[in-house]
């Protein structure tokens, strides 16, 4: 279909398409014709012009999610096909127990990851205000108008630039799950951290035991555990690629373990204090209650809390995220 807004002459049309309308290259019959006769160099130049090199904020989340997927799959393969069969080749019972632990950890970690990732219930909707304040035309007291979403958002909610949404009782954006941790998924995020720590501790135990058998750590081989020394020995042929991969994997597990411990400790502190990360940072304590109530507002009825460690079951929370009572006479927002 011909574009009616093109310049009349062929030369000016070509110039127009190449210099101005670079994102819509080859959309006109003239450009289609030109592409047929273009050299490879010209095609590459056009492709370079068309590329959008702007880094999108969502890419950081995608990288985090891919890293989680890579670690989960690679650890599963490594532990079931190399570490456990080698370490427990003469002990069937221990091997079965280890395999069961691997599958249990995998189920819990991926299950809680999914329920943290699936954060749809955390999104503030246009209907949120109308449902609770049907007769109110103005922004209700304590609510604010999000300048990006252009809608009224309840107290404790914040806009996430990565999710592009206002999140109920927003805590932080998690790159491992690619979603915001807020009112409805903070519980599964905490349990996810617990299994992240347990899974990586278990993996490190298997990896270090395997490596210690091949190159005893309390010997002249101790320096081989330093990744740069290991890399050098790999290049000189003094270390096998298999041992190097397991050692590098152990470093990644140590990183994940550190991240899990950091987030679990941080979450424990703010949950006990009845705050979000933002409120702790800004020293806002308007919504703090007793320790038990603070914990209940995240984990629901404590009667079934033990179930949380066994299965990421949904529970009814005492708050809907839209109405918050200011408990302490402090600065709210
Ligand atoms: Zn917003
Ligand atoms: Zn977010």
Q: Of the ranges 2-6, 150-154, 251-255, 293-297, which is most confident?
A: 251-255
pLDDT band for position 58 (cuts 50, 70, 90): confident
CA 22 to centroid of ligand 1, rounded, Å:
32
Measured CA to CA, the distance from residue 301 to residue 141 in angstroms comes to 29
| Averaged pLDDT score across all residues of the chain | 83
pLDDT for the residue numbered 18: 39
Two structure tokens written together for 171? 């805590």
Measured CA to CA, the distance from residue 320 to residue 167 in angstroms comes to 12
| Tally: H helices and E strands in the chain | 13, 6
Asked whether the beta carbons of 16 and 3 are under 8 A apart, the reply is no
Alpha carbon 255 to its chain centroid, in Å, reads: 15
46-61 mean pLDDT: 68
Share of residues in the chain with pLDDT > 90 (%): 47
Phi and psi torsions of 166, nearest 5°: -85, 135
- In the chain, what is the greatest distance between 2 CA atoms, to the nearest angstrom? 83
For residue 205, the tally of other CB atoms under 10 A from its CB is: 14
Measured CA to CA, the distance from residue 90 to residue 228 in angstroms comes to 34
Least-confidence region, from 20-24, 60-64, 315-319: 20-24
What would the pLDDT profile of 95-113 be if each residue is shown by its tens digit?
Answer: 999 999 999 999 999 999 9
Closest ligand to the CA of 117: 2
Between 93 and 135, whose confidence is greater? Answer: 93
Between 105 and 22, whose confidence is greater? Answer: 105
pLDDT for the residue numbered 114: 93
- Is 263's pLDDT higher than 70? yes
Two structure tokens written together for 5? 């807004």
pLDDT for the residue numbered 320: 83
CA 160 to centroid of ligand 2, rounded, Å:
5
87-92 mean pLDDT: 92
3-class DSSP state for residue 123? Answer: strand
166-195 mean pLDDT: 93
Measured CA to CA, the distance from residue 36 to residue 249 in angstroms comes to 49
160-189 mean pLDDT: 92
Q: Which helix or strand (DSSP H or E) is residue 234 part of?
A: helix 227-235
Between 30 and 196, whose confidence is greater? Answer: 196
CA 146 to centroid of ligand 1, rounded, Å:
5
Between 60 and 212, whose confidence is greater? Answer: 212
pLDDT for the residue numbered 333: 40
CA 162 to centroid of ligand 1, rounded, Å:
11
299-307 mean pLDDT: 76
pLDDT band for position 135 (cuts 50, 70, 90): low
Measured CA to CA, the distance from residue 156 to residue 324 in angstroms comes to 8
Asked whether the beta carbons of 244 and 231 are under 8 A apart, the reply is yes
CA 180 to centroid of ligand 2, rounded, Å:
4
325-333 mean pLDDT: 55
pLDDT for the residue numbered 166: 92
CA 143 to centroid of ligand 1, rounded, Å:
12
Closest ligand to the CA of 149: 1
pLDDT for the residue numbered 325: 75
Asked whether the beta carbons of 28 and 2 are under 8 A apart, the reply is yes
pLDDT for the residue numbered 289: 86
Q: For Cα atoms 37, 42, 48, give the angle at the middle one, nearest 5 degrees.
A: 135
pLDDT band for position 3 (cuts 50, 70, 90): very low
pLDDT for the residue numbered 173: 93
Closest ligand to the CA of 162: 2
Nearest to 115 by CA among 199, 193, 188: 188
CA 115 to centroid of ligand 1, rounded, Å:
22
């Amino acid at each position: 279909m011909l574009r009616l807004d093109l310049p009349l002459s062929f030369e000016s049309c070509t110039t127009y398409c190449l210099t101005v309308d670079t994102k819509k290259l080859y959309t006109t019959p003239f450009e289609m014709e030109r592409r047929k006769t273009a050299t490879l160099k010209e095609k590459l130049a056009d492709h370079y012009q068309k590329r959008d090199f702007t880094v999108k904020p969502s890419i950081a989340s995608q990288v985090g999610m891919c890293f989680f997927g890579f670690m989960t799959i690679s650890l599963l393969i490594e532990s079931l096909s190399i570490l456990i069969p080698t370490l427990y080749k003469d002990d069937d019972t221990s091997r079965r127990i280890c395999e069961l632990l691997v599958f249990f950890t995998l189920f819990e970690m991926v299950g809680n990851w999914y329920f943290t990732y699936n954060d749809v219930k955390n999104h503030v909707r246009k209907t949120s205000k109308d449902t609770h304040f049907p007769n109110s035309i103005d922004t209700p007291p304590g609510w604010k108008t999000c300048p990006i979403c252009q809608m009224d958002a309840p107290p404790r909610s914040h806009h996430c630039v990565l999710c592009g949404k206002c999140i109920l009782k927003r805590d932080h954006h998690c790159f491992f799950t690619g979603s915001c941790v807020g009112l409805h998924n903070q519980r599964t995020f905490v349990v996810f951290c617990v299994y992240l720590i347990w899974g990586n501790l278990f993996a490190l135990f298997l990896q270090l035991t395997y490596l210690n058998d091949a190159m005893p750590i309390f010997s002249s081989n101790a320096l081989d555990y330093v990744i740069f020394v290991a890399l050098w020995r790999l290049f000189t042929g003094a270390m096998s690629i298999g041992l190097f991969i397991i050692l590098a994997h152990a470093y990644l597990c140590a990183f994940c373990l550190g991240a899990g411990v950091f987030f679990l400790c941080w979450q424990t502190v703010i949950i006990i204090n009845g705050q979000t990360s933002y409120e702790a940072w800004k020293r806002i304590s308007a919504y703090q209650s007793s320790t038990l109530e603070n914990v209940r507002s995240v984990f629901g009825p404590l009667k079934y809390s033990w179930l949380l460690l066994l299965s990421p079951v949904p529970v009814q929370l005492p708050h809907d995220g839209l109405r918050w009572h200011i408990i302490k006479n402090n600065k709210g927002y």
